[in-house]
Each structure stands twice: as C-alpha cells, then as structure tokens.
Structure 1
Amino acid sequence: MKIHNIIFLALTTVFIFGNLGCAHNTAHEHTITDYKQECDRLMSKSCNKLGDIYFKGVDAERNLNLAKKYHEKACDLSNSDSCNTLGEWYLFPQPYHIDGLKHDPAKAKELFEIGCKNMNGKSCANLGRIYSEGLWTEKDVDTGDMYLGKACDLYKDGYACEKRAHMFSSGLNRPVDKDMARKYERAAVKNYKAACDKDDGAECGQLGYFYLYKKNYEEAYSYAKRACILNDKYGCNLAGLIDKIEHYDYSRAISYYDKACSLYYEYACADLGYMYENGKGIQKDKRKAKAYYKLACDMVKEGWNPSHCEKVEELTDQGY
C-alpha cells in the first residue's frame, strides 16, 4: 500500500468522521449496565455513550447494529452528537455492516441541520463542507462559508477553522487574504488543543494530521501518540506511519498499526499485511500477512475495498 494513499485515505476519513466514538476519561467509571439503565430513563448522553461503545468495541464486543440503535435513540432525545454521528453514517455508509443503512445525503443533511441547530459544531462544519464542496448537493460556497464560520467562531470547531483558513488562503469565494488565513489557522490549533486537553482522542488525532500537513513531524507524532492512548484509530495509524517513514522504527510502527487494526481501522490491518507479505522492515511472513489481510477484508462490506479480500485469495492460492 503506497504511503501517499494511506495519508489520503486517513485524512479524508478523519476530517469527515473526526468525532466518531470519542474517548473521555471520567472520575467515575460507569459500567455498560449503568449506561443502559440511564438510557432507559431517557438520559440521552448515556444512549450516546452506548452508541460509541458498541461502535468502537473497546469496552464491549463491537456491534454496529446496536451502535445505530442507541445513537438513534439518543438523537430522538435531541442529542446532537448522536444526530451528527448518524448523519455521517448516512453520508458514507459503505464501510459498515449496519442493517438498514444506505447512502442518503438528504437524510444526512437533515440530521446535520438538527445537530447544528442544537449548537453542535461538527454538524455545522459538516454542512459547511457539503455546501462549499458541492457534496451531493448544488455547490454553494457562500452558504458553506456561513456554516463553517458558525462552527468555528461560535462553537469552536477546529476542523471548521482549518477549512476557513484554507478558503482564505486559496481565495475560494473571496480575494486571497493571508492574514485571515493565519488567524483561522491559529484558531484551528487552539480549538483542537482545547478539545485534546479534555481527552478527546479524535481531536488530538486531527491536530496530528494538521501538523502532518505542515510537515511538522515532531508535533504530528506527539499528538498522534496521545490520540492513540485515547483509542483513536486514526491517531494510532498516524503514529505508525510516522514511525515507519520518518523514524524507520518498524517495530514501533507495527505496534501502532496493530492497535489501529484492533480498533477496526481496516487500512492499518491491510498495511500490516503488506509489510509482512513483502518483508518491509520486518521478517517476511506470508501467513501473518494473510491473517491481517483477512481482518481488513472482514471489517468492511463486500465490494467496498475488494483489494483486501483479493490479497487473501491470492495468498491462499500460493498455499498460505
């Protein structure tokens, strides 16, 4: 798997799914039973937490259908985080084995609008991206900019600030303004850091990718490691990538990729398969390669990324 493809896929997924299953440390450790009892009492935050738990499979066996059930209940109870999560799933449903989930941009936009009206910065940012890039709707840069501005200025969403910085620096809907671009870049970093300091692993990971774009590998690696500790699969993948291409520490890279794979990031599993198949920095082991390719194949819907499954068939034909 080529490095630039890994970066592109990771960045694309991180920026649209940055908030899925965020990990937060709390003083009192709730059990699954606690959350279920609270959800039954119509406490939307507990329903949302159950959705995250079953999606990530960290504190319970992964069950995407249960994740959807609890996020739907939380959204019905006006939990904007769950409404946003469901919107992202309807926008990009292909990787998931979830009953009744299909590509429905209109439904996604409706859910984002609910989230944005309830002061969810990520929902406003998602609306901004949909309009400014013309994703399954008529391109409307001004409306997109309005939503991004709202997400950044009012709700302190780091990605929205970063997106606005890009718009000012590239002159997408106005004359190029480097000073405003720098202003919004500073706001992006400030907001990412504020969320990361509250143990939001996804935001730590996004800050890592921000620094990766800037080729500041030291900062990127620092935030990627922190994100990984907080069980953010994209952060684990980024830490592994930097260890591989910058530090040439393949043993440590494998450790990070392995955690990303255990957190259901199929590209990390596939990359491990590639490394073992070709002996990239480690001893060649095609049986291990096949096992990792199979993990990647099993994580996604049939046809979503057939190359993972094709590699399993290829190694099986070779006798492994």
Structure 2
Amino acid sequence: MKRLFLVVVAFVNLTFAEDVKLENLQSISYDYLMERILDGNEKFSCDNFMNILKECEQKSANSCYKIGFLHLKGSCVEQNKEYALEYFRYACKLGNVNSCLLSGWLFEYYKKDLDLALEYYKISCDINYIFCNDLAFFYKHKKKDEKNAMYYFDKACSVGNLTACGNLAFILEKKSGVSEYSIALNQKACNGGIKHSCHNLARNFEKNNKINIAMKIYKENCNNGFYASCHNLGVALAKQNLNMDAKVFYKKACDGGIMSSCNNLGYIANNKKDALNYFKKACDGGDKNGCENLNKIYNKEK
C-alpha cells in the first residue's frame, strides 16, 4: 500500500513544505510583567485593597501601581482600563517604571494614542534600559523607523534583555544577511533561554552548512516546546531520507499547531487515507500547500 501511494505522490507532484523561518520580532516585557506580578500577588488578599489605596493616596508609587494593575486585571474590583491608566500614569510620575511601560501599552492598544504611547515607552526606557526593547519594537512596527529600533534594541541587549538581542540579530540578518555578530547575538539570547533565538541560531548554522550543530539545537528547542524547531528538524531529517525519524518530529509539530508539518506528514504518509487526513488538517489550518495537495489528489481521482 505504501509503495502504491508513493507512486501516486510522484505522479501528481505534491508539494513539500520547507523549513519555518520566523518573520516576527518579540515584545515580551508586558506579558512577562503580567506573569511576574500575578506570581508576586498569589498571597494578595482583597481585604488589603483599602490599605493599598490609602498608601497610594500617600504617594506610594508601588501601591498606586498595584491599584492600577488590579483595575487592569479586574481583580478585587471591576475591570476598568481608564482607572488603570490613571493610576499607572500617577505611579509613573512617582517613578514606578512598570507603570510607565503599562501606560505606554494602554495608550498604544487601548487609547490608540501613539504619541502618548511613545512618550511613556521613552520614559520607561530612560528609567531602565531593559524596557528599551518595547520602545524599539514600537519604533519598528508603529513608526517604521528601523534606525531607532536598532539603536534601542542594542541598548536593551547591552543590559541583559536577551529578547532584544534576538530582535537585533533578526533585523541585522534581514538587512545584511547572517554575520558573525548576528550569530553571536542569537547565541547569547539562546543561551539565556529565548526559544525564538535558538531557532534562528539553528537556521544560521544550517545556512552555513553546519547541519549537525543545527539539528542538535533544533532538537533541544523542540524538546523545550518550540514546535517550529520540531518542523525544521523533520525537514532536515527528511532531506537525509530519514522519513521515519522525520515523521516523529512532524507529528509533534503538527500537534503543536505547525500546519506545514501536517502537510509534510501527508507527503510521507504510508497510505492515501492518512495522507488525505493530514492534508485536510493542514488546509483547514490555513496551510496553502495542504490545500493544493488535497486538490491534486481529488483532481487525480476524477
């Protein structure tokens, strides 16, 4: 059955998906901030709300920040982003850098006021260079100002924001290709646990024909739950005609939402039924190759 299906595959010229390259920068400070504060307030009791409010009225920047955060999350009080912004702006004025960042975020995504968003992102960056990543991200995507984006990614990277190091490497490679410096930036970020950068580092080595090093990094990143790396490892194995090994990693990536892996599972399937199921899953998930392959098989049957 496998042999018969492979003959059909060759005859109808199905499409195989190549490696996944990441086309996005990361702005993680807000999400990280949310997780960190939630963890820090696991023991927070709503009974303390009025005490914290009084401390805020006495110009405690951290207490005003907490009140703003509770309004933003809808914890202890009804969710109200207007109140959250009011408290964040006040706490920022008192010197709380997290509040400056969140003020910028609310102006960007909630109020749609890019000028004020930029103002608060700049304040947070000036207070702590770690937050310059968010300012750089804003310059890149909202202002389309790559020069300032690179400047602030570099600033954030220089004080240990590893996401910013990966973002700087990404822009440099888009502009000038892979270099020793961009590889070093990806390596630094990857060593610090930035999975996007580990994936890009593996692609760097793959482009330089250091496939064994690339595959090792892909595998480690895949085992850490970064499914795009599972897909790329599958592609590398398939190119070595190790389809059974490739199938394991395609399956992991497909189950993790990488639709191009679902397509490739269809491509190397043992039988037509499995192939159709995987192509359909890929197509339903928005993968163009999956849809094309599905149509090719259906048209062949007519």
Q: TM-score range by the shorter chain?
A: 0.5 to 0.7
Partner of 1:254: 247
Q: Deviations over 1:188-228 (max 9, x none)?
A: 31222222xxxx54443232223223332111101100111
Q: Deviations over 1:84-134 (max 9, x none)?
A: xxxxxx9xxxxxxxxxxxxx9x7xx98x959x858457645644643xxxx
Partner of 1:28: none
* Alpha-carbon distance in structure 2 between the residues aligned to 1:192 and 1:216: 17
**2:169 is aligned with 1:162:** yes
* Alpha-carbon distance in structure 1 between the residues aligned to 2:100 and 2:261: 30
Bigger radius of gyration among the two: 2
Partner of residue 146 from structure 1, selected from 148, 151, 159: 151
* Alpha-carbon distance in structure 2 between the residues aligned to 1:41 and 1:296: 46
* Alpha-carbon distance in structure 2 between the residues aligned to 1:144 and 1:73: 30
* Alpha-carbon distance in structure 2 between the residues aligned to 1:82 and 1:295: 39
Q: How big is the shift at 1:293?
A: 1.3
8 Å CA contact 2:243, 2:268 repeated in 1: no
Q: Deviations over 1:158-213 (max 9, x none)?
A: 3234246548857xxxxxxx9xx644542331222222xxxx54443232223223
Partner of 1:214: 208
**2:281 is aligned with 1:295:** yes
8 Å CA contact 2:166, 2:196 repeated in 1: no
Unpaired segments ≥5 residues, structure 2: 1-13, 32-37, 47-71, 75-80, 89-97, 104-108
* Alpha-carbon distance in structure 2 between the residues aligned to 1:266 and 1:150: 36
* Alpha-carbon distance in structure 1 between the residues aligned to 2:43 and 2:300: 51
Partner of 1:6: 18
- Residue type of the alignment partner of 1:145: M
Unpaired segments ≥5 residues, structure 1: 23-33, 43-71, 84-89, 91-103, 131-136, 171-177, 277-282
* Alpha-carbon distance in structure 1 between the residues aligned to 2:219 and 2:101: 25
* Alpha-carbon distance in structure 1 between the residues aligned to 2:259 and 2:132: 28
Q: Deviations over 1:127-156 (max 9, x none)?
A: 4643xxxxxx66433222223323432323
Q: Deviations over 1:14-46 (max 9, x none)?
A: x44697xx9xxxxxxxxxxx99x959979xxxx
How large is the Cα RMSD of the aligned pairs? 4.8
8 Å CA contact 1:286, 1:315 repeated in 2: no
Partner of 1:47: none
Higher relative contact order (CA 8 A, sep 6+): 2
* Alpha-carbon distance in structure 1 between the residues aligned to 2:171 and 2:300: 51
Q: 1:313 to 1:241 in 2, by over 3 A?
A: closer
* Alpha-carbon distance in structure 1 between the residues aligned to 2:227 and 2:100: 23
Secondary structure at the aligned position of 1:11 is classed as coil
8 Å CA contact 1:273, 1:288 repeated in 2: yes
Partner of 2:227: 233
Q: 1:184 to 1:139 in 2, by over 3 A?
A: same
Q: How big is the shift at 1:265?
A: 0.6
- Residue type of the alignment partner of 2:290: H
**2:290 is aligned with 1:308:** yes
**What are the within-5 Å matches in structure 2 for residues 106-125 of structure 1?**
117=125, 119=130, 123=134
* Alpha-carbon distance in structure 1 between the residues aligned to 2:205 and 2:291: 33
Aligned residues: 221
Q: TM-score, normalised by structure 2?
A: 0.55
8 Å CA contact 1:152, 1:160 repeated in 2: no
**2:232 is aligned with 1:242:** no
Q: 1:184 to 1:210 in 2, by over 3 A?
A: closer
8 Å CA contact 1:239, 1:253 repeated in 2: yes
Q: How big is the shift at 1:273?
A: 1.7
**2:266 is aligned with 1:273:** yes
Q: TM-score, normalised by structure 1?
A: 0.52
8 Å CA contact 1:257, 1:269 repeated in 2: yes
* Alpha-carbon distance in structure 1 between the residues aligned to 2:279 and 2:146: 40
Partner of residue 198 from structure 2, selected from 187, 200, 204: 204
* Alpha-carbon distance in structure 1 between the residues aligned to 2:200 and 2:227: 11
8 Å CA contact 1:201, 1:232 repeated in 2: yes
* Alpha-carbon distance in structure 1 between the residues aligned to 2:192 and 2:224: 15
8 Å CA contact 2:136, 2:153 repeated in 1: yes
8 Å CA contact 1:128, 1:145 repeated in 2: no
How many percent identity over aligned positions? 17
